[in-house]
Structure 1
Amino acid sequence: MTRDDHEVRLRELARAGELGRLSEGERDLLRPAAYDLAHPVVFDAVYRRVAHHRGHHACARGFRHLGECCLDGFHDDLEAVVGSLLTTAEPIKDVEAWIAARAPGIAVDAYRRRRGAIGALQRPRMTKWLRAALGGDPWLCRLALRIQEWAGVPGGAGATLWPVDSWAGERGISTSEARADVEKVLVAMQERPKWYHEHIEIPLGHKVAPVGGCPGEGTGDPRPLPAADPGEQDEARVSDLAAVAVEAIRAGLGRGEDAAATVVRVLGELFLHGSGADEMSRAPGAATFGEERVSALLDDPVALEVLVERVLDIVRGPAG
């Protein structure tokens, strides 16, 4: 069987809800086709935002632009998504839409498991004792969370131990000031030596420095832009999901599915039934992406008819 044949077989088994009943050998035969389907969707639905959040804007341009600091993480996320797809027992009408809706949550769970495996906190949090040690300073408390998060990132050890350029840009201060603030936080953390050793030192020991650092870490590299505000993040998320939606709708039409039903299903899956993993790139308590507008459009028959027509015009492209 060719890889195209395996893709057809994968889709058939997914629609029937039979993937979870396959033997490991049967899954291995379908795995290359699953990777082919999941690869672009996982990048658009998950890793582009992760790269932006880390200040690796060059990596966010596309898979071929991923630096060594991000490539391993992307492959880890992709492997987790493919593994989940090939073991699910639920019927899947549209594989791409299913991946787009569930990949963020799958990636978050896999990321936390990888952090836990090296001793890092799965979900960095501000404890009462650490907040007190930092004098309740909002910036130092936020930086403490960044340090906890960074310590547990398996890769990413670049020219410097900490990504101070990115943190300096976030705060709008010089790199020397950022380094001084990092030292303040580390001193505060070391008030609990056992905690510091288990959750900071041990995870840091698992980092492997790449041949070249991540974008923006070199002396002559352009500095990463400051983190986007929530409005810009929402706009970027809509753009990412829209690109995934176009591909999922186009695939559904190619299989002869009803056009209007396909549009409604895909938009509902992507914009209304997501996992909430977009909160990864937000500060705790910050507002999440609002689905109210999409929900209102799908519930209004007149607006829905116009929406479907416009979406299909985009998917099908200009006539000619």
Structure 2
Amino acid sequence: MTGSANLVRDLARSGNLAVRANNIDARQRVRLTAGAYDIVWPVVFERHTRAMELRRSHPACAASVRGLRPECLDRFQDDVEAVLDDLLHNAKVPIRNLEGWIARRINAATVDAHRRRRGARGALQRPRLPQWLGRALGGDPWLTRLAVELLTWVGVPTTAGSGLWPLGAWAELRLRVTGDPSAGEPAVGAEVETVLRAMRQSAVWYANFVERPLGRKEIPVTAAHRPAAGADDGTLLPPGRTDSDDDAYLHALADAAVRAIEGRLGRGEDPADAVRSVVGRVFTGGTGTEELDRVPGTAPAPDERVAALLADPAVVDRITGTVLAILGPPAE
């Protein structure tokens, strides 16, 4: 347990954690947040994420944090952030069993945060079927269920691969709901269009709660084509470079960045400023040889990608928190 985590426990026992968290400078708050994070994430995984992943039939994700798929890891990080925020704002009474207190509040904290994120994207916070839409769909049990699924889907940031709708998942849901095994993805796609036509009967409602949040979804990134092993389809092949080489290169850059940030923090520099400066230099300072094996135009240049990320305060905050958690509390 880190010194920052012990400080969090001491403040929680005295009933002063929330007061302290909201009345300290930015550097002290980052340290306190890192300590709280060390306490919160194992509780969230054990008491919330594991069960959710088992319900999703993701046994590997339920085994450990390291086994989480990218989309499941994103959900886990969102949940940890929500519970962390709840802890630092609401721990206003003496708490002897901090893990137990956190566990009791996980559901409410994550649900509230989920609704806030949906609202920020312009989606309905609690997707429900309007009476007029139910009538427009003839009260059909499956189509009305599909309408609610669609309203839920437009409010999440992820996409269905290269498609707009998760037709495969909805085809499986249709089978469970109706017991009819004959309808595959094409049939469900046609039913989605039926639901959308019914929704468009209220143009303002459709624009506000379907089109607007749908337009804020993340754009799926299509990877450059790579032929199967041993195949020769005439495309440009990387000259001996593999994904493991890319990973090793990025890990080396990340290690260099962490060490450089550590040095700047030791000189009293603001953590977020240090992250922006160092990450901007380290991840855009290559010689260009690392890009020679890539087909031109298949991805943004590293400088463009890094600049776009560092322009997002939320990304900078997340990187800063991760680096501080790696480095641990400063020496007293």
TM-score of the superposition, structure 1-length normalised? 0.60
Q: Contact 1:39–1:78 (CA<8 Å) still a contact in 2?
A: yes
Aligned in 2, Cα 1:204/1:68: closer, same or farther, shift over 3 Å?
farther
Equivalent position of 2:150 in the other structure = 147
SS at match of 1:124: coil
Match of residue 269 from structure 1: none
| Partner residue in 2 for 1:96 | 99
In structure 2, the residue matched to 1:9 is 7
Tell me by how many angstroms 1:197 deviates.
Answer: 1.2
SS at match of 1:87: helix
After superposition, the C-alpha distances for 1:164-183 in whole angstroms (9 at most, x for unaligned) are: 11111122141122212211
Distance 1:77 1:177, change over 3 A: same
1:122-158 alpha-carbon deviations (Å, 9 max, x no partner): 0000111000011001111111111111100122442
Deviations 1:10-45 (A, max 9, x none): 111111110121124343221112111111221233
Contact 1:69 1:157 in 2 (8 A): no
Corresponding position of 1:118 = 121
Change (3 A) 1:7 1:72: same
Which of 187, 191, 207 matches 2:201? 191
Question: Paired residue for 1:174?
Answer: 184
The percent of aligned pairs where both chains have the same amino acid is 46
Change (3 A) 1:63 1:120: same
Q: Aligned-pair distance for 1:62?
A: 3.5
User: What TM-score do the two structures reach when normalised by structure 2?
Assistant: 0.58
Shift of 1:50: 4.5
Relative to structure 1, the CA distance from residue 135 to residue 197 in structure 2 (aligned partners, 3 Å threshold; closer, same or farther) is: same
CA distance in 2, matches of 1:43, 1:118: 26
Unaligned runs of 5+ in 2: 176-182, 224-332
Amino acid at match of 2:86: S
Alpha carbons 1:164, 1:179 under 8 Å: kept: yes
Alignment of 1:30-109 (within 5 A): 30-51=32-53, 59-88=61-90, 89-109=92-112
Counterpart of 2:138 in 1: which secondary structure?
Answer: coil
1:63/1:160 CA distance change after superposition, 3 Å: farther
Q: Which letter maps to 2:218?
A: V
Q: 2:5, 2:35 within 8 Å by CA — same for their partners in 1?
A: yes
Which runs of no fewer than 5 residues in structure 1 stay unpaired? 214-320
> 1:51 Cα shift?
4.5
Conservation of the 8 A alpha-carbon contact between 2:6 and 2:35: no
Quote the residue 2:162 is aligned against. Answer: 159
Name the aligned partner's letter for residue 119 of structure 2. Answer: G
User: Superposition RMSD on alpha carbons, in Å?
Assistant: 2.3
- Alpha-carbon offset, residue 54 of structure 1: 6.0
CA contact (8 A) 1:73 1:155 kept: no
Change (3 A) 1:7 1:24: same
Q: Which residue of 2 aligns with 1:217?
A: none
**Larger RCO, structures 1/2 (Cα 8 Å, 6+ apart):** 1
The partner residue of 1:206 within 192, 216, 219 is 216
Distance 2:62 2:202 in 1: 37
The question of whether the paired residues in 1 share the 8 Å contact of 2:13 and 2:94 is answered with yes
Distance 1:205 1:169 in 2: 26
Aligned 8 A contact 1:157 1:209 in 2: no
Displacement of 1:209 in angstroms is 3.7
Name the CA distance, whole Å, in 2 between partners of 1:62 and 1:177. Answer: 37
When residues 59 and 198 of structure 1 are mapped into structure 2, their CA distance, relative to the original with a 3 A threshold, is farther
User: In structure 2, do the counterparts of structure 1 residues 152 and 61 end up closer, same or farther at CA, with 3 Å as the change threshold?
Assistant: farther
Q: Structure 1 residue 79: deviation in Å? A: 1.2
The residue matched to 2:96 in structure 1 has which SS? Answer: coil
Secondary structure at the counterpart of residue 154 of structure 1: coil
Question: Quick one: structure 1 residues 30 and 93, their matched pair in 2 at CA, closer, same or farther if it must change by over 3 Å?
Answer: same
1:70–1:156: 8 Å Cα contact kept in structure 2? no
2:133 equivalent to 1:130: yes
